[in-house]
Each structure stands twice: as C-alpha cells, then as structure tokens.
Amino acid sequence: MARARTITAALNGGEWSPLLDGQVKQDKYYNAAKKLLNFLPTVQGPARRRGGTRYVGAVKNAAAKTWLVEFVFSAGQAYILEFGDYYVRFWVNRGQLLSGGVPYEIVSPYAVADLVTADGTFALRTLQSADVMWIVHAEGKYPPYKLSRLGATNWTLAAISFTKGPFQDVDYPANGHALRISATTGTITVTVTAGTALFTSAYVGMLLRIWSQNPASVTPYQPAMSVTTGQQFRNAGHVYQANNNYTYNSNDTTQRYVPTHTEGDASDGAISWTYLHSGYGWGKITAVAGDGMSCTVDTVGRFPDSLLTLQSGRYAFSEFGSVYGYPTNVVFYRERLTYARGKKVWHSVVGDYDNFDNLDAGSVTSETAMAVELSSDKLDAIRWMAATHALLVGSAQSELALSEQTAQAVYSATNVQSTPQTEYGGRMLRPLRVGDDVLFIERPGHRIRAMRYEFSTDKYRAEDITVLAEHLFDGSERIGEVDQGQRYVLDWAYQQQRDGLVWCVLSDGTLAVMTYNRERGVLAWAPHILGGGAVVESVRSIPSPDGTSDDVWFAVRRTVNGSTQRTIEYLTDYRLVKLGAAEAVHVDCSVTYRGAATAAITGLGHLEGQSVQICADGAAQAERVVGDGQVTLDRPASLVHVGYSYPSRYQSMRIELDTGAGTAQTAKKGISNLWLRLQSTIGGSFGPSFDKMDDLPTIDPYAPVGEPPALFSGDVCTQFPAGLDTDCFICYEQSLPLPATLVALITRLIVND
C-alpha cells in the first residue's frame, strides 16, 4: 500500500468533456475539472466563484424577446441599447436612462420578429465610430440605418440616404433601353425613349446614373480659340463652361492654364471656366410613372446637356435598394466603411464613409470607392466580416481573406486580391475580436474556432477552441435535468477587462464561459446558470462606469408566479470581496440595501412570491419568500443583498499519480486528509461527491457570537469523508450567498496496488 501527497496547483484548466476522462498524459489534465459550475477559472490559477447579477430594471414588454447592443463612446461613456418591437431603450451608469422621470426611448423600424435570423441569432450588425453607429440587417430586410447620439437624451435613428453610390455596372443598349432627360439640374424627368417599361415603384429612393452617349458632341478645349459666355468645351474627359467672352489674339503670349479642375471655377489666364460634369450625371429617383416609362429624379451630379437631345443606353442604378437588396454586414477596413451582400463587398471612399462613388470626376484613384466580387468554389453569401491583418470574410461553407495584392501599394481597386483560407463555414453571428484572434462559430452553432494569421505559411488557420469542452454544447447543464440533445450558441460577448472572458448564450438559456489568454496558455471553459430558473437571451459587455473593468449585461427571461418576466441585469465583480465579505454579491437578480440598520428590506417587487437568499452584513441569513415586495430579516443589518440562489460546484478529475508500478487509474485509493488552499472564502462543503459532503470549517469558533464570519485565506486541513474507491473525486460546493476562491488542493493519498 503506497502513500503519497498530491497537489492540484492550479484549477484553471476548465471543465473537461467526459470524452477526455482518460487523458491523464496531458499536462492540463491536472488543472482540469470534471465539474466547474458557476466558477470562473482565472489566468493566475485559482477558480473563483462568479459574482451574482444585479437587477437593473424590466424590459418594456415582457411578452417579447429583446436584444442587447453595446454603444461605447469612451471608457467612461458606455451604453447598453435594448432593441425590442419598434423601439430602442437605453441603459447607462448601471441604470436606465430616463427623461422626465420615464424611460427614454426612440422609435426603431425593426419589428421584433425581424430581430432574429433563421439561425436564431441577433439579426442586426452594428459598427460604431464616436457618437455614430451604422446598423444593417443580417438578412437584408431593412436599409442601413445610422444611430446618432446628439445629447444625453437626444438620439436619432434614420435610414442612410446614399447620394454617391454605390452603382451597379453600366448597362448598355443591348438591353433595348435608352434614356433621355428633361433638364440637366434640379428636379427632372427621365424618359425611356426606346425599349419596354423600365421603372417600377421599387426604384423610388434609388440612384440613377446616366452617361453621355456621345462625349465627342462637346467641342475639345484649345488655348488658341475664341469663346463666348456659356459655351462648353471638354478637356481630359471633363466638360467646362466659359464664364466670359474671349477673342483669341495670336500676339497674346500669356501663359495659359489648361482647365483640369473638377469642382467650382478656375481661370486659364483669359477665360474663367466652371466645371460641369465628367460625361455623366446622376440623381435620386423620387417618383415613377404608372406605365414605367419615366421617373422623376432629384439631381445630385449635373447631367450632360447632350442627354437633352440624344438618348443614351449607358446607365446604372445604385446597388442598395429594394430592387437589388440591402447590405447584410458592415465593418471598417483600411480607413473605409465596408458593406457586404451576397458575394460582393463595397468599400467607401477613404475617410468618407457615406461616399461610395467609384469614380472621382470620371477617374479611378487609390482613394475612390471600390467594389469587389469574391470568387471561391465554396463561397456562398457572406455571413460575417472582421478586419485584421486582412479583411476576413466568412460564409456558410468557407472563409477567405481580402487584402492588398502587393504590399508596395495602398489597398485600392487596382491592388486587391481575395485568398481562400479555410473551409469550415460559419454561423450567422457576429465574430469576436480577442487579441490577435478572430473568433467565429461554425454553422451548426456548437463549435467555436479562433482564426489567427501565421507568418510561416502566410495564411490564417482556424483552431477549434471548444474541443476540450464539447459537452457544454451537447446536452443540458441545468441541475437535475436530463440530456436534451445538442445546444448551440445564440449570442456572445467578450469581456476584456480584467479576465479575458468570452460569454456564450446557449439555446437553452444557460451560459458557457471561456477564460482565454494565449500569452499564459489558458483556455478554460465553465458552465454558468443564473438563479431563479433564468433563461439568458442576450449578452453584451461594456466598460464599467469608472472605466476600471468591463460589465457583462444580460437580457434574462424567467417565469415568476406563472407569468413571463424579462429583466435587464449585469454581473457584479467577484473582486468586491476585497472590500469585505459584506460587499460581495452572490445572489442573482439582486437588490442591495445600504443604510441604517433595518430588518425590513423593500423594493423586491420583481421577486414577489419567490424564495430568495439573503446576505446581511457579510453573513447568510435564512431564506425568505418575498411578500408585498419585501422580506423581514432575522436581525437588522445595514448592508443587505437579496436575490435568487445559485450553487457553485467544483469536482476534480480522477486523481492520477505515478505509483512506481504505473498509473493509479482503476487502483483502489483513498484520501485520508485534504487541505484546501483558499482565498477570501467563507464556508462551503466538501466530499467525494455532491451527495456526500461535510461542512468546511473556515469560521473561527472563538469569534464573538453575532459577529459576521470573517473571510478566510490559507489552508484548511480536513478529514476526508470517504473510504477507498477507484475514482477518488474531490468535490466542493458553495450554495450560500458567500464568496469562495479555490487556490489549490493538497491530499494525503493511500493507493492500494
């Protein structure tokens, strides 16, 4: 019979899949857990009980699902936006934004049914710069919108009015249509002079660009010529109009300037020239005739005079509209606003985010807008985009990268290439940027991949980062429930400060949370379930009001007294325990009272009729049922947290050590003594299983009666309540509203060979 001491020096391997139960040769096996419910693995090593959630308020309509969106102007000015049925509400500074004592809201164009995609994910894609947010619909059901913050309670949401493209490729007379205009500026009529009906009511709001059919009809510019006021000449593809009379004199030796300007007026030394156009004009369609043979256009760029008399078959409509569809994704890339739809990507003019004109006075430059048609044997409609070293683009079947063809020139229409990367296929869900990685979810929704550029291969690889915890996405993690089959990710958010956590909302309303730090080699998953039978429906992360950390916000659904309740909550920081046990919050959907000592805690209307846990001045009191929106304490307290309970559970992997005769797996073994190295912990229970546990003695027996228990940091030596068995699990549970941090586990072990 061998005796040994073992130590689990770190508990940040995360909860491992049962498929890995035999992987004792992997280094991370010794840090992993069979169960790690409602614990957060930390980069430093310990597993810390998560903080409870704080109740902030109710959504506008409890009967309809809402989605959360982050709006971050700065670390000190961050909002959570509540998108519901045709409205947007705002949450800021851990409270609801009010105006005149009532929730401030604005009207939105989105019906609640259109806020969800066919994949069950959030349908809006957002992009923010300062006080402006661009919004597109992932399935192209709505035109792009722009949300602007003009003041604390002055927000606007308006459809973007495109006046400068993007345009489709030019149509030619082969289609049988030819157009003529009634005037060159202002509100004009465009008439179909050849071909069948062209316009329908769907074209209202779209742009129409028409080229001159015969640019040579305008006289070429020459310095040696006489002109009269109003006469037009062309030079370098541009058309100019003379603003004064001039009679050519062969004895005139003045150095003449050849007009090449593309806006306003300029003089060539004798004649003042006004720039008119570059062989084409365009405007916005405002009305269409019933027969489809004409339309009314508000001019944006002056049309050529030749179109008044000469019909033209060279025309193009704008890309965005109800005829051809709207963008479905939006990002910034290379100082350009970038939209996508289908297999096509549109980049704005550099630095001019609403300008998608691919021509600058008829010329293509390195800064003009550009459109890229992507081609790949497995690329279908674009589902997500992310800007990194390249512009990563994902579809339902594959991923590719859009970048410069040569690094010696800027990214432009003449220097662009698309390169296939991987063939996994993605879900219709926004990707997450985590350091140098882009995280996306495979099409079925149960596997997450991290795309990262590798210099050695000059390509991106996409590593499966759910392989160690695939079970979290396959079956139910709810306590006491049976396996209900495969689950998938509906929403997610990245909490950068301070632990680097990825929060995933699963289809059954539970959470899968990943601690992700490549620098320290930490990739650890843990399941989380909010108390009160909560179903989490949406998650977002924004900087805390003081900017020192990030707050995770949830939209939560519960059934309370037979009725559906939807609330907005944020996760409290477990580090509050550093301020004392009384400050730490370990109940969900909680309300905190702070003030003079009292036995009556009110303001609990959202918990009416529910059994709640109570932490009063750092000590757990007996559970109560909320009645008339309040509870009565066992004894008065000045700092009280009230909310739903949730258990935090840790279960070790099977203990492994080299006995000198090989593995300890399947050998009869037992723990005679267990030392739990703890930090800022009060109580809990331990044992070989969650059905057989003893209380953990962290409370000083000599402390004065009535004093709240003190936080314990150090080693607790216990007699382990188990005999010999082949598994030898160590379990710990904290189910009271108190803090717990597991730093290490040390055992005195007996192995019976």
pTM attached to this predicted model: 0.93
Q: Give the tens place of pLDDT for each residue, 67-123.
A: 999 999 988 899 999 999 999 999 999 999 999 999 999 999 999 999 999 999 999
CA 685 to CA 472: how far, in whole Å? Answer: 25
Answer whether the bond into residue 518 is a cis peptide, omega within 30°: no
| Band of residue 665 on the pLDDT scale cut at 50, 70, 90 | confident
The answer, yes or no, to whether residue 595 has pLDDT greater than 80, is yes
Q: What is the pLDDT of residue 543?
A: 96
Q: Give the tens place of pLDDT for each residue, 122-181.
A: 999 999 999 999 999 999 999 999 999 999 999 999 999 999 999 998 866 556 899 999
| Band of residue 258 on the pLDDT scale cut at 50, 70, 90 | confident
Q: Give the tens place of pLDDT for each residue, 423-444.
A: 999 999 999 999 999 999 999 9
Q: What is the pLDDT of residue 699?
A: 80
Domains in the chain: boundaries: 2-49+648-752, 173-317, 587-645
Q: What is the pLDDT of residue 142?
A: 97
Torsion of CA 174, 216, 208, 370, to 10 degrees: 90
Cβ-count burial 658-685 (b if 16+ within 10 Å, e if not): ebeeeebbebebbbeebbbbbbbbbbbb
Cβ partners under 8 Å of residue 16, min gap 6: 23, 29, 32, 33, 34, 468, 469, 653
Give me the amino acid identity at 679: Q
Is residue 359 a contact partner of residue 316, using CB atoms and an 8 Å limit? Answer: no
Q: Among 234-248, 516-530, 619-633, 647-661, which stretch is predicted with the lowest mean pLDDT?
A: 647-661
Is residue 35 a contact partner of residue 651, using CB atoms and an 8 Å limit? Answer: yes
| Band of residue 709 on the pLDDT scale cut at 50, 70, 90 | confident
| Band of residue 654 on the pLDDT scale cut at 50, 70, 90 | very high
Average predicted confidence (pLDDT) for the chain: 93
Q: What is the pLDDT of residue 99?
A: 97
Q: What is the pLDDT of residue 667?
A: 85
Q: What is the pLDDT of residue 171?
A: 66
The answer, yes or no, to whether residue 420 has pLDDT greater than 60, is yes
The answer, yes or no, to whether residue 549 has pLDDT greater than 90, is yes
| Residue, of 592 and 251, whose pLDDT is higher | 592
Q: What are phi and psi of 629, to 5 degrees?
A: 75, 20
Q: What percent of the chain has pLDDT over 90?
A: 82
Closest C-alpha to 667, from 714, 709, 607, 724:
724
The answer, yes or no, to whether residue 574 has pLDDT greater than 90, is yes
Q: What is the pLDDT of residue 250?
A: 79
CA 530 to CA 546: how far, in whole Å? Answer: 25
Q: What is the pLDDT of residue 479?
A: 62
Average pLDDT over residues 685-705: 87
Q: Give the tens place of pLDDT for each residue, 680-694.
A: 999 999 999 999 999
Q: What is the pLDDT of residue 544?
A: 95
CA angle 661, 667, 668 (to 5 degrees): 130
Average pLDDT over residues 552-557: 98
CA 394 to CA 399: how far, in whole Å? Answer: 4
The answer, yes or no, to whether residue 593 has pLDDT greater than 80, is yes
Q: Give the tens place of pLDDT for each residue, 205-228.
A: 999 999 998 888 899 988 888 899
